[in-house]
């Protein structure tokens, strides 16, 4: 009951109730549908980031990859006349390459992931701006298999959901399985907890980290595609600032920034919480320009709470 | 004649300008406890890290049971039957005792899934409890407890019981009694004797010479990256060993004082 994901969950419920009472529209089908449309896009990245943070590394380039992947795919389709399937494959390979470069530099050259992925953020964002000359691409609205697969929508009663929600649920289940029940999850936690100890037991720490960087990058690209298909457009500045929002979701959920302790359930709660805060704050009438203040304060309060809980647990 | 288990020949290792190992050679026989002694920085940890695959050696040969091997990773060392308990790193504090005991060798179901295979949690727990019982610390410790909640001595006991479970041919202990209380220290020494009786070979690094005389069969002394002396415990005494470690002729000094 003292676990960080549980206290985050309690606070999420409190927030939902408070927003629900403050504004009756908050829990309306339309608003819930809206929140659920945005949730998977950051949530999917947060799943990869949770695994990476648990292994003791993090990735600041995810927001930029979120922007670049759809820009490249759409450019190939619109300007070069490439088939959408082939273009998506090219986007996937690009994400794999970015993640692999991050991972190899961090593990083999030994530069901190903060610096490596910060540089990668600039490179990737710069590339997106350069190849588009800074302009959003023409809107692209051709339904097809891939669009339906990533951003199709369906109605359940008064609710309108996107297929991206299934992706998020499926990937969440997979991530929970890997981290808690699979051999790989044991390795990920051990690497983040004490890398040398893991290596001394024959755990291939560098390879695991490189694959996690690749996974995180691919998930960021996937989220970018989902978003671009949903709004039928790709912009070179899409995803700006998402890296911090995603890291906030992960740590608010109770995953330790220092590695070793990660919780996917906590991350899902964290993703829901940040989504609800961003949405609810606007609805209850906080001026748009002031709302980052509230978001920041709430995140800080959550982190203080986790820290206090942990101190208590250590003492008892 | 006891069979030779491990033989090192002319191992060399440098870190930049520091020549941590210069031509180190030694042999370890079956069922033998060898104490590796030497002052701080003598190169003891470097030697055993080379054997356990933490880093590659620059030059030299390693033989296991007479066969020449190259140990390029910790996994390869473990597969050759060499288990090491390092001085500085051994456990992951955020993992449970049970998960630490089987780290890198987890029991799984559906083995064909590779790294994605699900852990056999029941087996993990049972095996961990059985092992803790065997080492005699089961009363105090729960296999599901996080290692971060344990004392230094308890952690050391966990690391040692982990080496026991895989019945390694060669067990290497780098200062295992550091930071331990009296009772835990005796536990470790008892473990070393048990291992010898069961036919394992033990390479023990320690700064406590009394422990050496209690458990070791043979002594090897290192100084500045070189092996400077080798003696059987039965043929030597405390003062001689101390002078070998420091390089000063203490026994001569003592004689003069008398
Ligand atoms: N990774 C490293 N990089 C650079 N120098 C190192 C490294 N590891 C060890 N050394 C150096 O090699 C020498 C031998 O170190 P080693 O750790 O083997 O000593 P030791 O005999 O185990 O000492 P202690 O009794 O203090 O544990 C020392 O001078 C040390 O500074
Ligand atoms: Mg040492």
What DSSP string runs through B79-112?
HTTEEEE-SS----TTSBHHHHHTTTS--BSSGG
**DSSP secondary structure of B156-202:** HHHHHHHHHHTT-SEEEEESTTTT--HHHHHHHHHHHHHHHHTT-EE
The CATH number of whichever domain residue A210 belongs to comes to 1.10.3470
Contact A197 B92 (CB under 8 A): yes
Contact A193 B119 (CB under 8 A): no
Q: Name which of B28, B40, B100, B98 is nearest B64 in CA terms.
A: B28
CB B221 near ligand 1, within 6 Å: no
Average pLDDT of the segment spanning B156-174: 80
Q: Is the pLDDT of residue B179 over 80?
A: no
The answer to the question of residue A316 being in a domain is: no
Q: Which ligand is nearest to the CA of B36?
A: 1
What residues have CB less than 8 Å from B96, skipping those under 6 apart?
A: B143, B144, B145, B146, B147
The answer to the question of residue A180 being in a domain is: yes
Give tens-digit pLDDT for A233-284.
899 999 999 999 999 999 999 898 889 999 999 999 999 999 998 888 888 8
Mean pLDDT of chain B: 86
Give tens-digit pLDDT for A289-306.
887 888 788 888 888 888
Average pLDDT of the segment spanning B93-112: 92
* CB B244 within 8 Å of CB B229: yes
β-pairing verdict for A153-156 and A159-162? antiparallel
Average pLDDT of the segment spanning B99-118: 92
pLDDT category at A225 given cuts 50, 70, 90 is very high
Q: Which ligand is nearest to the CA of B89?
A: 2
pLDDT, residue A118, reads 96
CB B227 near ligand 1, within 6 Å: no
pLDDT, residue A2, reads 59
Give tens-digit pLDDT for A63-111.
999 999 999 999 999 888 889 999 999 999 999 999 999 999 999 999 9
* Sheet with B67-69: strands ordered across: B18-29, B4-15, B59-64, B67-69
pLDDT, residue B203, reads 94
Higher pLDDT, B238 or A314: B238
Enumerate the H helices of chain A as residue ranges.
Answer: 4-22, 29-54, 62-78, 84-104, 113-132, 145-151, 164-176, 183-193, 195-200, 205-231, 242-252, 264-283, 291-315
Q: Name which of A265, A269, A62 is nearest A179 in CA terms.
A: A265
Q: Is the pLDDT of residue B156 over 80?
A: no
Rounded to the nearest angstrom, the minimum Cα separation between B191 and chain A is 21
Higher pLDDT, A204 or A23: A204
**Ligand 2 center to B174 CA (angstroms):** 7
Q: B88 at the A interface (CB within 8 A)? A: yes
The answer to the question of residue A82 being in a domain is: yes
Q: Name which of A275, A243, A311, A235 is nearest A71 in CA terms.
A: A235
pLDDT category at A23 given cuts 50, 70, 90 is confident
Q: Is the pLDDT of residue B230 over 60?
A: yes
pLDDT, residue A181, reads 95
Contacts of A178 in chain B (CB under 8 A): 116
pLDDT, residue B249, reads 60
Mean pLDDT of chain A: 90
Q: Is the pLDDT of residue A126 over 80?
A: yes
Number of neighbouring beta carbons within 10 Å of residue B1: 5
pLDDT, residue A15, reads 86
pLDDT category at A34 given cuts 50, 70, 90 is confident
The minimum-distance atom of ligand 1 relative to the CA of B39 is 25
ipTM above 0.85, yes or no: no
Average pLDDT of the segment spanning A217-228: 96
**Ligand 1 center to A124 CA (angstroms):** 42
- Nearest Cα residue to atom 7 of ligand 1: B15
**Ligand 1 center to B41 CA (angstroms):** 5
Contacts of A261 in chain B (CB under 8 A): 94
Average pLDDT of the segment spanning B224-230: 90
* Range 181-210 of B in CB contact (< 8 A) with A: none
The answer to the question of residue A306 being in a domain is: yes
pLDDT, residue B89, reads 65
- Nearest Cα residue to atom 24 of ligand 1: B40
**CA atoms of A194 and B93, how far apart (whole Å):** 7
Average pLDDT of the segment spanning B149-172: 79
pLDDT, residue A316, reads 54
pLDDT, residue B242, reads 86
pLDDT, residue B120, reads 95
CB B38 near ligand 1, within 6 Å: yes
What is the extent of the structural domain holding A83? Answer: 4-311
Of residues B103, B115, B117, nearest to A201 (C-beta): B103
Q: Is the pLDDT of residue A4 over 90?
A: no
Q: Is the pLDDT of residue A115 over 50?
A: yes
HSE-up (13 A, CA, CB side) for residue B86 = 23
Average pLDDT of the segment spanning A184-199: 95
The answer to the question of residue A204 being in a domain is: yes
Q: Is the pLDDT of residue A39 over 90?
A: yes
How many domains does the structure of chain A reveal? 1
Higher pLDDT, A158 or B255: A158
Q: Is the pLDDT of residue A207 over 70?
A: yes
pLDDT category at A151 given cuts 50, 70, 90 is confident
Q: Is A3 left (phi over 0), alpha (psi -120 to 50) or beta?
A: beta
Domains parsed from chain B with CATH numbers: 4-93+169-188+200-257 (3.40.50.300)
Instruction: Extract the tokens encoding A204.
Output: 């291939």
Q: Is the pLDDT of residue A163 over 70?
A: yes
The answer to the question of residue A278 being in a domain is: yes
The answer to the question of residue A39 being in a domain is: yes
The answer to the question of residue A262 being in a domain is: yes
Contacts of B82 in chain A (CB under 8 A): none
Q: Is the pLDDT of residue B136 over 70?
A: no
pLDDT, residue A1, reads 46
Q: Is the pLDDT of residue B184 over 80?
A: no
């Amino acid at each position: 009951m003292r676990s960080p994901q549980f206290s985050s969950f309690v606070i999420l419920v409190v927030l939902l109730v408070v927003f629900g009472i403050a504004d009756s529209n908050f829990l309306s089908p339309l608003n819930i549908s809206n929140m659920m449309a945005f949730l998977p896009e950051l949530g999917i990245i947060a799943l990869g980031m949770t695994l990476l943070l648990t292994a003791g590394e993090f990735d600041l380039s995810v927001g930029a990859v979120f922007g670049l992947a759809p820009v490249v795919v759409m450019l190939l389709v619109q300007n070069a006349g490439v088939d959408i399937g082939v273009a998506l494959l090219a986007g996937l390979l690009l994400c794999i390459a970015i993640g692999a470069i991050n991972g190899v530099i961090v593990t083999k050259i030994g530069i901190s992931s903060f610096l490596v992925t910060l540089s990668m953020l600039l490179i990737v964002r710069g590339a997106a701006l350069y190849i588009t000359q800074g302009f959003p691409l023409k809107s692209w609205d051709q339904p097809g298999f891939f669009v339906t697969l990533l951003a199709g929508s369906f109605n359940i009663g008064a609710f309108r959901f996107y297929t991206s929600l299934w992706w998020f649920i499926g990937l969440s289940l997979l991530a929970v399985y890997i981290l808690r029940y699979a051999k790989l999850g044991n390795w990920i936690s051990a690497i983040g907890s004490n890398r040398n100890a893991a290596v001394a037991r024959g755990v291939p720490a560098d390879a695991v980290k490189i694959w996690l960087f690749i996974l995180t990058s691919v998930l960021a690209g996937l989220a970018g595609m989902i978003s671009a298909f949903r709004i039928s457009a790709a912009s070179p500045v899409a995803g700006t600032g998402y890296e911090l929002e995603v890291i906030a979701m992960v740590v608010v959920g109770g995953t330790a920034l220092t590695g070793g302790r990660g919780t996917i359930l906590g991350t899902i709660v964290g993703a829901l919480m940040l989504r609800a805060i961003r949405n609810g704050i606007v609805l209850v009438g906080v001026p748009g320009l002031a709302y980052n203040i509230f978001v920041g304060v709430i995140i800080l309060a959550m982190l203080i709470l986790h820290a206090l809980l942990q101190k208590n647990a250590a003492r008892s | 004649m006891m069979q030779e288990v491990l033989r090192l020949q002319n191992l060399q290792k440098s870190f930049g300008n520091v020549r941590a190992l210069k031509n180190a050679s030694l042999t370890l026989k079956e069922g033998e406890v060898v104490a590796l002694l030497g002052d701080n920085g003598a190169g003891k940890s470097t030697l055993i890290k080379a054997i356990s695959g933490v880093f590659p050696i620059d030059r030299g040969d390693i033989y296991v049971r007479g066969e020449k091997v190259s140990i390029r990773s910790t996994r390869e060392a473990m597969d050759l039957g060499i288990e090491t308990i390092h001085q500085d790193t051994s456990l992951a504090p955020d993992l449970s005792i049970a998960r630490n005991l089987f780290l890198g060798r987890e029991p799984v179901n559906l083995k064909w899934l590779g790294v994605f295979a699900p852990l056999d949690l029941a087996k993990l727990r049972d095996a961990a409890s059985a092992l803790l019982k065997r080492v005699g610390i089961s009363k105090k410790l729960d296999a599901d407890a996080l290692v971060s909640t344990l004392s230094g001595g308890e952690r050391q006991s966990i690391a040692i019981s982990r080496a026991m479970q895989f019945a390694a041919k060669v067990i290497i202990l780098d200062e295992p009694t550091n930071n331990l209380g009296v009772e835990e220290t005796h536990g470790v020494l008892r473990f070393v004797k048990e291992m010898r009786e069961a036919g394992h070979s033990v390479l023990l690094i320690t700064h406590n010479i009394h422990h050496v005389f209690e458990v070791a069969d043979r002594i090897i002394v290192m100084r500045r990256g070189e092996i400077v002396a080798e003696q059987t415990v039965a043929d030597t005494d405390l003062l001689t060993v101390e002078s070998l470690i420091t390089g000063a002729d203490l026994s001569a000094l003592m004689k003069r004082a008398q």
